[in-house]
Chains A and B, each alone.
Chain A
Amino acid sequence: MSGLFKDARFFLLLAIAAAIGVSLAAGSFNRYYLGIAIDVGINIILAVSLNLINGHTGQFSLGHAGFMAVGGYVAAKMTLLYGAALFLPALFVGGVVAALVGLAVGVPSLRLRGDYLAIVTLGFGEIIRVVFQTSEFFGAATGLTGISKLTSFAWAWGLAAVTVYVVACLVNSTYGRGFIAVHDDEIAASAMGINPVRYKVTAFVIGAFFAGIAGGLYAHHKAVISPSGFDFIKSIEIVVMVIMGGMGRTAGVILAAIILTILPELLRGVAEYRMIIYSLLIIGLMLTRPQGLFTISRKK
C-alpha cells in the first residue's frame, strides 16, 4: 500500500516540475499550440472530476458544466475586483463555491436513479446558466470580460496532476472502495454498513470542487466567459470524454480528454463536418465499444 503512495507522490512532483519547466520556456513555444495544451490540461481536470461522479460512483451527471461555470465566474470576479495577485486564492474560492453548489445538487438528487438523475443534473446545469445569464453582477448575457490571462501551462497541468493524484488516491484507498461499492450495488453496500448517501454526496462535492478549479483556470485562459459557454452541450462534451475513456478508468479518461481536445483542432480543415463527425463518433462508440476505448478489465 505504501509503495503505491510513494510511487504516486513521486510522479506528482515530477509532473508538476515538468509543467513548471515548460511554462518557463513558454516563450520559445508556438502560442497556438501552447493554448491548445492548456485547454487539454483544463479538460483533463474536468474529465477526471466528472469521472469520480459518473464513472467511479455510477451517478450519471449531465450538469458538470454548471460547476465549471460557478468556479469560473467566482474566480474571475475575484481577480477582476481585487487584482491578479489573488489568482490562487481566487481559484480555490471558486472551487469551494462550486463544491457548495455540488452539495446543493447532490443532496436532493440522492433518491434518483439513472435517467432521472441525468435529467435533474441537466436541469440544475441549465438553472445555473440562467442565473448567470440574468445576474447583472456577473455580466448577464455579456458575461465577464477583460479577465487577466493568468493561466499558464504550469498552472493548468500542475493542477491537473494534483486532481489526478487526489482522485486516484481517494478511489484506491479503503475509504474509496466505498465509491465502487455504491456503484456496483447500492443496497448491498448499505447492507454492508457503507453509507451510500455519504459517498454519493462526497463524489458530487469533490467532483464539483475540481470542476470549479477547472472553470477558474478556463476563465483566466480565455479572458472572456459568458453563460452560453456553459450550456448542456459543454456538459455533454465532458461526458463523452468520460465515456470514451471508459467510465472509472482514470488513465483512459485522461487519454480521452487529450484526444477529444486536440481532435477538433486537427479537423479544422473539415470544419463544417466537425460536429457531425463528433456525433457519429459518439454513436459508433456506443454501438461498438461502450466500455470505452481504453478499458482494461477491472480487478474484482
Chain B
Amino acid sequence: MSELLQQIINGLALGSIYALIALGYTMVYGVLRFINFAHSDVLMLGAFAAFYLAPVLAPTLGAESIPLAFAVIVLSAAICACIGMLIEFLAYRPLRSRPRLTVLITAIGVSLFLEFAGQHEKVFGAATKPFPALLPNADAGFGALHISSNDLVVLVLTAVLLGVLWFIVQKTKLGMAMRAVSFNEQAAALMGVNVNRIISFTFGLGSALAAVAGIFYAMRAPGIEPLMGVQPGLRAFIAAVLGGIGNLPGAALGGLLLGVLETVFGGIPSVSNYRDGIAFAILILILLFRPAGLLGKTQIEKV
C-alpha cells in the first residue's frame, strides 16, 4: 500500500510537469485550433536557457539558492515567451487563412528545425549536458515515503502557476479576450478585440509555462539535450487530449492523471517495457470513446 502511495507521489510530480506543458498546447489549440508541434522544443529551450543563465547569475545570487532559482526561472520563461511569439509571428501568422493541415506541417518543420539545429556542434551539441542544481536537494519525506525537495517545489509551484493562470483567464480583461477569441474569432474581432495581439499573448504565455516545465523537468533529471522535449511533449499532448483539448482545467487534470498512470503502470514488471505504448494506448482509447476528453464538450458539426 505504501508502495502505491509512493508511486502516486512520484506520478504527481511528473504529472505536474505534463500539466504545465499541456496547458500550452490547449491554450494555443483554443485560440488557433491547431496543435503546435514545436511546443515541446520550447521546453528544451527553457532548460537550455536556464543552463546558460545559472552559472552567470550564481556568483551574485548564490549557488543553489532560492533567489537564483527564482531569477533563472523567471528569466528563462521570459526568453522563451519571446521565442514563442517570434515563432508564431514568422511561421504561423502568415498561414492564418490556410487549411489547418498546412500549419500543422509547418509546426512539424519548426520542431525538427529546433531539434536538429540544437544538435549541431556550434549550437548546443548533441551530447547530454549536466544541468546545474538550482536548489539544494534534500529528502523531504516522512516515514517510508520519500519525496525529494525538488519534487515538492515542482508540485507547489505548479499549483501556484495554475492558480495564477486561472486568475488571468477568468478574472482579467486579457483572459476574457482570450476566451472570446477561442469561442468565436470573428465575433471577438468585431467586438474590438485585437486578435493578433491576443494570439501572440497566448503563445507567449504558453511558451513561458513550457519553459518552466522544462526547467522543472531538468531539475528532476539533470541531463539536458536537444531532443529532450520530444517525449514529455508527446505525453503532455496526450494529457491535453485526455482532459479535453481547449479546456484548461482539463489539461491540468489530464497531465496529473497521465503522470500517475504512467508511473504506476511503469512500476509493474511485465508492463514496464510497454511504458512508451501506455500513453498512446490511453490516447487512442480516449479518442475512440470520448473524443472530447474528460472535461470537454462534444462539438456538433454543423452543415
Contacting pair A112 B109 (CB below 8 A): no
CB nearest to A247 among chain B residues:
B101
Q: Across chains A and B, which 4 residue pairs bring their CB atoms closest together, nearest first? A: A282-B109, A130-B277, A279-B112, A279-B113
**Chain A contacts to B: CB under 8 angstroms:** 60, 108, 111-112, 114-116, 118-120, 123-124, 126-127, 130-131, 133-134, 187, 236, 239-240, 243, 272-273, 275-276, 278-283, 286-287, 290
Known contacts A108-B288, A119-B241, A272-B120; decide if A290 and B109 are in contact (CB<8 Å). Answer: no
8 Å CB contact of B277 from A60, A116, A127: A127
Pairwise interchain contact B106-A279, C-beta atoms closer than 8 A: no
- Contact in complex: A283, B110 (CB < 8 Å): yes
Partner of B105, one of A130, A278, A286: A286
Assembled-state Cα–Cα distance A275/B237 (Å) = 24
Selected contact of B108 from candidates A115, A236, A273, CB within 8 Å: A236
* Residue B160 lies at the interface, judged by CB distance under 8 Å to chain A: no
Q: Which residues of B contact A286 (CB under 8 A)?
A: 95, 102-103, 105-106, 109
CB closest residue in chain A, given B112: A279
B281 touching A127 by the CB < 8 A rule? Answer: yes
Which of B238, B276, B301 meets A130, CB within 8 Å?
A: B276
- Asked if B274 CB lies within 8 Å of chain A CBs, one says yes
Q: Which residue of B lies closest to A236 (CB)?
A: B108
Return chain B residues, CB-CB under 8 Å to A60. Answer: 101, 104
Least distance between B265 CB and chain A CB atoms (Å): 13
Chain B interface (Cβ within 8 Å of chain A)? 33-35, 91, 94-95, 98-106, 108-113, 116-117, 120-121, 237-238, 241, 273-274, 276-277, 280-281, 283-284, 287-288, 291, 301, 303
Given contacts A123-B283, A276-B113, contact A290 B120 (CB under 8 A): no
User: A290–B98 contact, CB under 8 A?
Assistant: yes
| A115 and B277 contact, CB distance less than 8 A | no
The interface residues of chain A lying within 8 Å CB-to-CB of B116 are 275-276, 278-279
Is B104 a contact partner of A127 (Cβ separation < 8 A)?
no
Contacts A283-B106, A283-B109 given: A112-B101 contact, CB under 8 Å? no
Say whether A239 contacts B276, CB under 8 Å. Answer: no
Contacts of B121 in A (CB 8 A): 272
Nearest neighbor of B35 in chain A, beta-carbon distance: A115
Query: Is the CB–CB distance between A111 and B277 below 8 Å?
Result: no
Chain A residues with CB below 8 A from B112, complex form = 236, 275, 278-279, 282
Contact at B288–A280, with CB atoms within 8 Å? no
Interface centre among B95, B98, B99, B283 (most CB of A within 10 A): B283
Partner of B91, one of A116, A273, A278, A283: A283
Which residue of the partner chain, among B99, B106, B238, contacts A287 with CB atoms under 8 Å?
A: B106
